Structure 1
């Protein structure tokens, strides 16, 4: 049974180009009537829908909310599709695979990239298995299924990225490559158990082979680009010939070589536990992708990692592969709360999360084949929050956003702050508080409020308690003119659209009472 609703609005594409027809499929029993299109809470179009696809007028670039008969969805219009990466995955390619549910997921969550995990014959021989084979871990692969998925993902307005490990060689291919092995101080080759061995990713003969393999896969299967994977070790090592290797530098050399061989490819490199993000983020790839492990265990760690990555990568989107292992050990309700807090931490700092894929799966393990079937509650949560992410893109993702918490909050600054009768505030993710962050973009001030009041710790991959009851918040800010600014609030679990709250002048200051905080609120102060 599908966890997804039978009544829904489903955009025909995950992302639309300007001047491209914008169509939304209307599924289930939906009453005819007015469909409304909003940009940052403002009504920009109204369509009298009577049946068939909901066709929207031409829209300028940006993220839009669409509402019809109590249903909602989001639409992204973007001239440069690589500016955002909302990342999903597929991990099965059997001959009889039904790909319809996968494509629905791409459209439902507006996924702009899909990682094709473990599609290849072998790590060091991507295309050597013919049209049908068992992969290195004995999963059935049909290239006809891979091609069908690639084409359908592209037709749905997303990008298909083939998985490729950048320095891994299996036992059958090792004789050919062991002269480039990376070895420990005692001469033992680095590897992943006895399953894979690791070589210098910048070795010239390996680079020639690897880039030729990628080019052949592109020609045969139509991938838009590649997810370039590593295992996080070693950082420095000896090569088999005794030469010292700085592996971070070798990774950058490899990324540049792949870019030269495939100039149009969309490239995403995995910085395992933030290594070597400082170097790779500025290289010729298209996103900053990080797989966090211990000691990156708290919500604050995730926030700090995204902030560093945005600083290193400039305008590149930042994605964290924050696997929610908690779904394997906790009830869906408690695990969903962990995911909500993880998304709140990431989205509020300008990052996204690789979590959902296939037709109904969640990542709870780095071997993507070991995934988790999502409950209906999880499916509904992700739809709400990914719609919210797209609709409020202009408040969450631009590189121009600047953190001004330290310049605005607190009694010394006395510029803008919050208070709650039942909770304290913190500039960091502290258990028992409301985590408050203030950012600015031109005349806009955006306040993020994340409710940690009922949590005993701030681990992101742990069962979470229900949000604490903190009641309404009071926003107080200094006036810069005679006219009070406009204040609006949005919550992904409460309508998902910016709505006005009353503002009351108080001398040189003004106050606004905010709705009760659930998990995450975004407050927009303008004017």
Structure 2
């Protein structure tokens, strides 16, 4: 089997033993090296045995390489963090049949460094989470055993991954509806709002409902051990009336609900779904653990995704931002074209400080809002995702730090003349324009980060559509106005070509430092140390 490096945990805390498992046959006389933002911080010979132990490392993201005489043989990444809630690399599980292989799910979480897993549709009914006993069919006939749920929670916890039980905050099925219909949210016609004829919607802030909902969540923690909950809604209604004609601002009801759940479960991790950005502007300030958004039409383009991520980040108070951008494209196109679509989505989100909910189970992808209808990823897709998730963890400080700020308009262009990138035959644009290189500049710590996304050869900028083969950009030229007496350092990384930061030559041309950048694949990250 191909040699694979697998961290023993999806995330490490200070003092946790850091282990790297080797799967496959390593070469003779190999070494493990540890890199932080392109700088070597540790090297050790490969010892006998499947598991290698690394020394304690300060908080940060690291690349791990297995090196032999012929060069780098295999790679992975690790995160060491003092705050396990500071980042969210979110995955999913959606099957709880008897005998479920919980170890395979935990292995996949380790492979992609998934530190949070949503347990989708684990419950008996939406308005009665535990009413089915130990084994039951859920509302859509999926067989579930709570022993499998518990085994998954335990296996994930053992590798540093938190488990979030799915719970819809205002959904009541037909069996339970007679007990809750007095709290219905009504259409102008007087009919209750519903999800088809399957689930009816109540006011999530109705005191009787909220007390029941909070009790159900608390009982679920006791029954199966969840670390927290994924609190879902459907994006509608935004304003409605109750049976007695009282108007309800549903955004305000969500805030009341979130405050009530937090009060009942002060230590639980909570993630609320802002469907199509509703109501991120208010819910982002609630006591929860992430700003999570499920984008739908009209958020169809890479540029629209970037705008959603930017708004969420501005409202987040430093919480991680996650977009549930389902890649339906895998059900419509070959893996190669679909992988390119996902790569463009990930490049857009990561370059704007957000992550994507996409992968889970033992190697499945989300292609539908009903997570049970997922897509089995091909080996090439899993290899691509592993490279990109490794890249995100290793370069976390340049991508996801809440202190990163957008500075594109302050640096680029003739008026500023501070920093820019040009190509001989390809246009550079500030927006996601098909046929161009999309350029964005941020400030991260004491340096600048230039994101270059290759849209050359693409006929549109849709994020969930098959992508054409990449157009050729040729080398790029970065020109930077430097500080007298200080030679800037320019380094480049690319999840598909240069997985860690590597120096490029810099020369002086008058008041500017000039560096020649490698031709683009999909996404290139350029770090400029001023």
Residues 1:61 and 2:59 aligned together: yes
Which residue of 2 is the match for residue 318 of structure 1?
321
Name the counterpart of 2:9.
13
In structure 2, the residue matched to 1:491 is 494
Q: Which residue of 2 aligns with 1:147?
A: 150
Who is 1:500 aligned against?
503
1:370-449 to structure 2, matched below 5 A, reads 370-449=373-452
Residue 25 of structure 1 corresponds to which residue in structure 2? 21
Corresponding residue for 1:248? 251
Distance 2:498 2:430 in 1: 27
1:179–1:241: 8 Å Cα contact kept in structure 2?
no
> More deviation in 73-82 or 477-486?
477-486
Match of 2:90 among 82, 87, 90: 87
SS of equivalent to 1:497: strand
Q: 1:6 to 1:127 in 2, by over 3 A?
A: farther
Alignment of 1:451-466 (within 5 A): 451-466=454-469
Post-superposition offset of 1:480:
1.4
Q: Helix, strand or coil for the counterpart of 2:85? A: helix
> 1:377 deviation in Å?
1.3
Distance 1:224 1:152 in 2: 13
Distance 2:333 2:254 in 1: 37
User: Given that residues 93 and 119 in structure 1 are in contact (C-alpha distance below 8 angstroms), is that contact kept between their aligned partners in structure 2?
Assistant: yes
State the 1:186 CA deviation: 1.6
- Aligned partners of 1:164 and 1:227 also within 8 Å: yes
Q: 1:467 aligns with which of 467, 470, 485?
A: 470
1:47 aligned residue: 44
- Matched residues in 2 for 1:303 and 1:113: separation? 23
Q: Report the Cα distance in structure 2 between the residues aligned to 1:138 and 1:385, rounded to whole angstroms.
A: 36
Which residue matches 1:260?
Answer: 263
Find 1:300's aligned residue among 303, 308, 326. Answer: 303
2:70 alignment counterpart = none
Residues in 2 aligned to 1:430 and 1:47: alpha-carbon distance in whole angstroms: 46
User: Residue 389 of structure 2: SS of its match in structure 1?
Assistant: helix
Corresponding pairs, count? 523
Is the CA contact 2:233–2:275 (under 8 Å) kept in the aligned structure 1?
yes
Aligned-residue offset at 1:357: 0.4
Which residue of 34, 55, 77 corresponds with 1:37? 34
Verify: 1:340 aligned to 2:338, yes or no: no
Once the two structures are superposed, residues 465-519 of structure 1 have per-residue CA deviations (whole angstroms, 9 ceiling, x without a partner) of: 1111011000001011222200000000013100000000111111000111110
Residue 464 of structure 2: SS of its match in structure 1?
coil
**d(CA) in 2 for partners of 1:6, 1:374:** 18
Ranges in structure 2 where 5+ consecutive residues have no aligned partner:
68-72
Instruction: Check conservation: 2:9, 2:110, Cα contact below 8 A.
Output: yes
Whole-angstrom CA distance in 2 between matches of 1:240 and 1:453 = 55
Does the 8 Å contact 2:6/2:21 carry over to 1?
yes
* 1:352 alignment counterpart: 355
SS state at 1:54 partner: strand
Shift in Å, 1:49 = 1.2
Q: Deviations over 1:118-145 (max 9, x none)?
A: 0000000000000000000000000000
Q: Say if 2:34 and 2:40, in contact at 8 Å, map to a contact too.
A: yes
Aligned mate of 2:165, from 162, 184, 202? 162
Cα deviation, residue 259, structure 1: 0.4
Q: How does 1:71-110 map to 2 (within 5 A)?
A: 71-110=74-113
**Contact 1:434 1:452 (8 Å CA) reproduced:** yes
CA distance in 1, matches of 2:283, 2:18: 36
SS at match of 2:483: coil
Residues in 1 aligned to 2:382 and 2:425: alpha-carbon distance in whole angstroms: 32
Whether 2:286 is the aligned partner of 1:280: answer no
Does the Cα contact within 8 Å between 2:109 and 2:161 map onto a contact in 1? Answer: yes
Structure 1 outlier segments of 4+, above 4 Å: none
CA-atom RMSD in angstroms: 0.8
Q: d(CA) in 2 for partners of 1:39 and 1:174?
A: 55
- CA deviations 1:249-296 (Å, max 9, x no partner) are 101110111100000000000000000000001101110000000000
Shift of 1:6: 4.2
